[in-house]
Structure 1
Amino acid sequence: MARQAIYTKSQDVAAYELLFRDEHGNFVMGLKDDDATLAVLVNSYASFSKDTKAQMPFFLKVTDKVLLDDELPDFPRHLFVLELLPHTRVTQALIDRLIELAGQGYRLALSGFDPSDTKLHPLLKVVHVLKLDIQLIGLSRIPALVQKLKPFNLELLADKVETQDQFRQCLEMGFALYMGYFLSKPDLVRGKKLPGNKILLLQVLKELQNKHATAESVEQIALKDPELTYKILRVVNSAAVNLRREVNSLSHAIALLGMDQIRRWVMLFLAKSDNGKPTELTRNMLIRGRMCELLAEMLEYPEPMECFIVGLLSQMDVMMDMEMDVLLNEVPLQHSVKDALTKREGQAGLVLSEVEVYERGEFEQLKKLLPSQFYEVAYRHSLKWAEQVLEALQ
């Protein structure tokens, strides 16, 4: 199981879509099966956001069979959007059932809408959210379609938005919600340079990878940036570290934290956006880093921390709006890290590829370095860990 973010116009997360398969890795066509009941999904994924201040709703794919059998468990209406699939068999009985569910407070969505296929058109009067696959329909055909859909007062969701340019075009067309990998590719700016504070953080990270590094050698680099010095001192006194001790120098603070903890915090500072990028991007960088590290530990790789670094930095190009090759030319990272990031080579590169496939919900393409349940455990843990870190970074 995995999840994919659904964004608003301002690129804030509005909801998540659940991506799952059965125990054999196949699409779940009927959710009543003992192995994949709706109740299990609800109970499992409600825990994803139960500790956050603002709970995010989930888009949950359901079949007409499940809906007509009237076996939906009682769960919070505001936390789940019931998503009808394009192969839904539309009958008067189904429409009556959907009207009943809407009256009970459920929000309904329809995915895979094809304007040339009239069989789903009766559902437009019932559902609240309509997903339009912009790759399937074609951007050139969408403006006219949007005009035809206006009388239905639907919340339009642009699906398969791959680039920032496509996002901007959909924004101009009036879409309210967006899905796709448009945040996974950089919006390039010619001549853009990595900000000095990020370069310094990478220099500190490079020093921390040196087995002969000391608190004093790290201090010499960190002291060049007053903000970084302040951040490290603040971390020492944070609730996350729980060390209430007076420090007399930056090297003393580093020694109190320990080199491993300093390494982690430097990478977290790297992941935090300073240029208006959405929080979801930082969250995804944290999830990737932690999941790469956990899989590496389970696989008994000798350098799980290197896998954490690779996972975390794998979207630095998006964060900084720079091509990865250009970005890495500016920073002093180990060749194994650079090869993993640019070519997906080595153990770290292999693990990163697996995590990228997993987070997209393309489970059938996994190389299965470990049994499926290990991936899910690592993913669930990484989600929770990322939320905790984001709170600490605030």
Structure 2
Amino acid sequence: MASTGSQIMAEEQPLQVLMARQPVYTKSQDVVAFELLFRDADGNFIVGLKDDDATLGVLLGTYSSITKGGAVKSLPCFLKVTDSFLLNNDLPELPRQSFVLELLGHSNITPELIARVKDLARQGYRLALADYDPRDPKFEPLLNIVHVLKLDIQLLGLDNIPPLLQRLRPYQLELLADKVETQDEFRRCLEMGFALYMGYFLSKPEVVKGKKITGNKVVLLQILTELQRPNATAQSIEQIALQDPALTYRILRVVNSAAFNLRREISSLSHAITLLGIEQIKRWVLLFLSAADKNKPDELTRNMLVRGRMCELLAEMMGRDEPINHFIVGLLSQLDVLLNMAMADLLDQVPLQQDMKAALLDRSGSCGELLKQVEHYERGEFDQLSRALERPFYEVAYRHSLNWSQQVLQAMQES
């Protein structure tokens, strides 16, 4: 089975900084980069990369990697840098293809800074500019140097953006729509011709009234219902699963994958239940319930997996009862988005305990509270984290969950 929280803390080297990642999407909602969200109390994080091969290794190995079509690849990371950092420090020797240096809007744009940014561009670094204010002429010199321009659509207002894009056209910049919060905003930005997108628009369901769960998700729900019955047996569960042999085969592929660290091959669902117990079968059924259909991006499933695993690890680290239930709540917290259904309607069709339903609907109880912690962490809202754990535990749990989700997704995509 997957490692426990205490094993993971013993195995992993904690970083000196809290860090999360936020995806940067293309028009087709593929992930092409990540923005690093980090909270570094002393301001030494980026400088430290120069002498800290371990942290750089974690950045390039975990925070920048993604599974696509069963293969793992590394994507560039946007790294926020201040003007004082650029001018006062030797930039660590960062792999140029792995990082996009992001200048902040409140930079003091002096001739020295402009010369430094030009020099970095000449050296082959890709550069982005955030917090752009079209009313402030100080940004003009940078528009001829940077490659990516982030536009905060909430700050600028969607209706004001088309004339601004006309003005920016001569600079031939790659335009990134930032703070895209709904699918409707995403569509409007798409029509305007933005190349890149950031924001939480993927986390909002587009509710289709009267929608019912269909396809192999129905079989999964039938298995889930059977798993709740006190007198359910390995055979009774397997009988339901065999209605969809392809699904059974795929579940077994994931069970036998690296993500579950099993020492022997499992050949049937009843064998798996006998060997590992009903609680673990519940986990795999839920993993497949969270698998994206063709019309949803993989990133949604990835985020659901990360949430589930991180909720479970935090529950273990804090000594909470039934960590598996925390996993289930974290995993299902975006099932409404995946299936385009209101969460309340969805939960009418999903057999779950009342306290878990309450956690999903209003973030109450132990499961809801830890889900809220994970949501704060993934948004980089590190000051909202509970004091129940020391800070490094959160980062290690998040990093482990990224790696675990990668392994599971790889097995699901290959199966």
TM-score normalized with structure 1 length: 0.91
The one-letter code sitting in structure 1 at the alignment partner of 2:320 is Y
Give the CA deviation at 1:179. 0.4
Identity of aligned residues (%): 61
Give the CA deviation at 1:44. 3.8
Taking structure 1 as reference, are residues 35 and 61 closer, same or farther at Cα in structure 2, changes over 3 Å only?
closer
Give the CA deviation at 1:233. 4.6
Task: Determine if contact 1:38/1:72 at 8 Å carries over to the other structure.
Answer: no
The one-letter code sitting in structure 1 at the alignment partner of 2:300 is L
- Structure 1 residues 42-62: Cα deviation after superposition (integer angstroms, max 9, x where no partner): 444223157653211100000
Work out the CA distance in 1 between the residues paired with 2:397 and 2:273.
29
Give the CA deviation at 1:310. 0.2
Pairing 1:367–2:386 present:
yes
The one-letter code sitting in structure 2 at the alignment partner of 1:5 is P
Match of 2:39 in 1: 21
Pairing 1:103–2:122 present:
yes
Give the CA deviation at 1:18. 0.7
Match of 1:278 in 2: 297
Taking structure 1 as reference, are residues 237 and 94 closer, same or farther at Cα in structure 2, changes over 3 Å only?
closer
Taking structure 1 as reference, are residues 317 and 89 closer, same or farther at Cα in structure 2, changes over 3 Å only?
same
Taking structure 1 as reference, are residues 258 and 281 closer, same or farther at Cα in structure 2, changes over 3 Å only?
same
Match of 1:148 in 2: 167
Task: Determine if contact 1:199/1:330 at 8 Å carries over to the other structure.
Answer: no
Q: Which moved more, 1:48-57 or 1:35-44?
A: 35-44
Taking structure 1 as reference, are residues 123 and 294 closer, same or farther at Cα in structure 2, changes over 3 Å only?
same
Match of 1:251 in 2: 270
- Structure 1 residues 144-203: Cα deviation after superposition (integer angstroms, max 9, x where no partner): 101100000000000000000000000010100000000000122233221142133133
The one-letter code sitting in structure 2 at the alignment partner of 1:259 is I
Match of 2:48 in 1: 37
Match of 1:175 in 2: 194
Correspondence 1:97-136 to 2 at 5 A: 97-136=116-155
Match of 1:344 in 2: 363
Taking structure 1 as reference, are residues 207 and 301 closer, same or farther at Cα in structure 2, changes over 3 Å only?
farther
Taking structure 1 as reference, are residues 313 and 172 closer, same or farther at Cα in structure 2, changes over 3 Å only?
same
Correspondence 1:239-318 to 2 at 5 A: 241=262, 243-244=264-265, 250-256=269-275, 258-318=277-337
Task: Determine if contact 2:147/2:173 at 8 Å carries over to the other structure.
Answer: yes
Runs of 4+ in 1 over 6 A off after TM superposition: none
The one-letter code sitting in structure 2 at the alignment partner of 1:2 is A
The one-letter code sitting in structure 1 at the alignment partner of 2:61 is S
Task: Determine if contact 1:22/1:35 at 8 Å carries over to the other structure.
Answer: no
The one-letter code sitting in structure 1 at the alignment partner of 2:109 is V
Work out the CA distance in 1 between the residues paired with 2:380 and 2:286.
26
Taking structure 1 as reference, are residues 72 and 277 closer, same or farther at Cα in structure 2, changes over 3 Å only?
same
Q: Which moved more, 1:232-241 or 1:45-54?
A: 232-241
Match of 2:107 in 1: 88
List runs of 5+ in structure 1 lacking aligned partners: none
Task: Determine if contact 2:21/2:63 at 8 Å carries over to the other structure.
Answer: no
Give the CA deviation at 1:94. 1.1
Taking structure 1 as reference, are residues 384 and 138 closer, same or farther at Cα in structure 2, changes over 3 Å only?
same
SS of the counterpart of 1:76? coil
Q: Which moved more, 1:114-123 or 1:199-208?
A: 199-208
Pairing 1:10–2:14 present:
no
Work out the CA distance in 2 between the residues paired with 1:35 and 1:51.
19
Work out the CA distance in 2 between the residues paired with 1:203 and 1:104.
58
Q: Which moved more, 1:50-59 or 1:319-328?
A: 50-59
Task: Determine if contact 2:60/2:74 at 8 Å carries over to the other structure.
Answer: no
Work out the CA distance in 2 between the residues paired with 1:213 and 1:320.
28
Q: Which moved more, 1:207-216 or 1:166-175?
A: 207-216
Match of 1:75 in 2: 94
Work out the CA distance in 2 between the residues paired with 1:180 and 1:128.
20
SS of the counterpart of 2:151? strand
The one-letter code sitting in structure 2 at the alignment partner of 1:188 is V
Give the CA deviation at 1:36. 6.9
The one-letter code sitting in structure 1 at the alignment partner of 2:391 is S
Correspondence 1:228-247 to 2 at 5 A: 228-235=247-254, 241=262, 243-244=264-265
**Which one of the candidate residues 205, 209, 222 is aligned to 1:186?**
205
Taking structure 1 as reference, are residues 112 and 211 closer, same or farther at Cα in structure 2, changes over 3 Å only?
farther
Taking structure 1 as reference, are residues 7 and 215 closer, same or farther at Cα in structure 2, changes over 3 Å only?
same
Highest RCO, 1 vs 2 (Cα 8 Å, sep ≥ 6): 2
Work out the CA distance in 2 between the residues paired with 1:185 and 1:58.
24
- Structure 1 residues 49-95: Cα deviation after superposition (integer angstroms, max 9, x where no partner): 57653211100000111112241111210100000001111111111
List runs of 5+ in structure 2 lacking aligned partners: 1-18, 67-71
Taking structure 1 as reference, are residues 378 and 206 closer, same or farther at Cα in structure 2, changes over 3 Å only?
farther
Pairing 1:218–2:232 present:
no
The one-letter code sitting in structure 2 at the alignment partner of 1:296 is A
Work out the CA distance in 1 between the residues paired with 2:322 and 2:230.
13
Give the CA deviation at 1:323. 0.9
Give the CA deviation at 1:263. 2.2
Give the CA deviation at 1:237. 6.0
- Structure 1 residues 126-152: Cα deviation after superposition (integer angstroms, max 9, x where no partner): 100000000000000000101100000
Task: Determine if contact 2:104/2:130 at 8 Å carries over to the other structure.
Answer: yes
TM-score normalized with structure 2 length: 0.87
Root-mean-square deviation (CA, aligned residues, Å) is 2.2
Work out the CA distance in 2 between the residues paired with 1:236 and 1:376.
26
The one-letter code sitting in structure 2 at the alignment partner of 1:215 is A
SS of the counterpart of 2:133? coil
- Structure 1 residues 2-61: Cα deviation after superposition (integer angstroms, max 9, x where no partner): 1111101110101111111124xxxx7xx4x37973445644422315765321110000
Give the CA deviation at 1:122. 1.5
Work out the CA distance in 2 between the residues paired with 1:35 and 1:110.
18
The one-letter code sitting in structure 1 at the alignment partner of 2:133 is D
Taking structure 1 as reference, are residues 82 and 233 closer, same or farther at Cα in structure 2, changes over 3 Å only?
closer
**Which one of the candidate residues 157, 175, 199 is aligned to 2:218?**
199
Taking structure 1 as reference, are residues 34 and 80 closer, same or farther at Cα in structure 2, changes over 3 Å only?
closer
Work out the CA distance in 1 between the residues paired with 2:45 and 2:298.
37
